[in-house]
Chain A
């Protein structure tokens, strides 16, 4: 299947700093990328949907100014957690889709710990 990578896999930062997470589709062009958040022992919650070249669509309750999403190319989307706080500590997972195809390909996730 298609491969999606995330970088970094793990990051620890101080409260108040910003953290950027990259999501790359390695062997296909991803017209749409999705960002999810997963707290320990919980399910994945969709945060936002990004289409290449346009603004991201955020789910209700997700602050767009806090979670900046950029999808500048068909193979790269970035999520920046601005002014991170301990409550932002979570597992962030991206997925990538092609056109109207049903299957999404998930990245390995990024574990963020804010001290």
Chain B
């Protein structure tokens, strides 16, 4: 079953702007992961944040996690046209190791 809700469903920005997307989930988790998918392609793992972490950075990516609100956000700073893709959050529930539950995804379009 699909656990996460992502917001917004679609996001259109210009190069150089920041893109922020949010993910909410329902159950207790071990970690939350963000993935990127270019149209018709496989998934690329972006970043993993554990349940005892609140914020994590990787290059132009910044992820936050609020377990009290069961929500996470992904910020892409100084976006580029190459960042155009769909972004998914996936949670690893505590009661079922390895079974990632994916959110609905946010489709991001970055125009030059």
A67 is an interface residue with CB less than 8 A from chain B: no
A97 to chain B, nearest CB (A): 6
Complex interface residues of chain B between 21 and 66 (CB less than 8 A to chain A)? 30-31, 33, 35, 40-45, 48, 50
Contacts of A44 in B (CB 8 A): 43, 88, 90, 102
Tell me which residues across on chain A come within 8 A of B100, comparing CB atoms. 34, 46, 95, 104
- Confirm or deny: A49 has a beta carbon within 8 angstroms of a beta carbon on chain B: yes
- State whether B43 touches A100 (Cβ < 8 A): no
B side interface size, CB within 8 A: 26
CA A60 – CA B50 in complex, angstroms?
A: 27
Q: How many residues of A contact B (CB 8 A)?
A: 27
List residues of chain B with CB under 8 Å of any chain A CB.
Answer: 1-2, 30-31, 33, 35, 40-45, 48, 50, 88, 90, 92, 97-105
Given A93-B43, A102-B92; 16 other pairs, CB 8 A cutoff: A6-B42, A36-B102, A42-B104, A43-B102, A44-B102, A46-B99, A46-B100, A59-B1, A60-B1, A91-B40, A100-B97, A102-B30, A103-B33, A104-B98, A106-B35, A107-B42
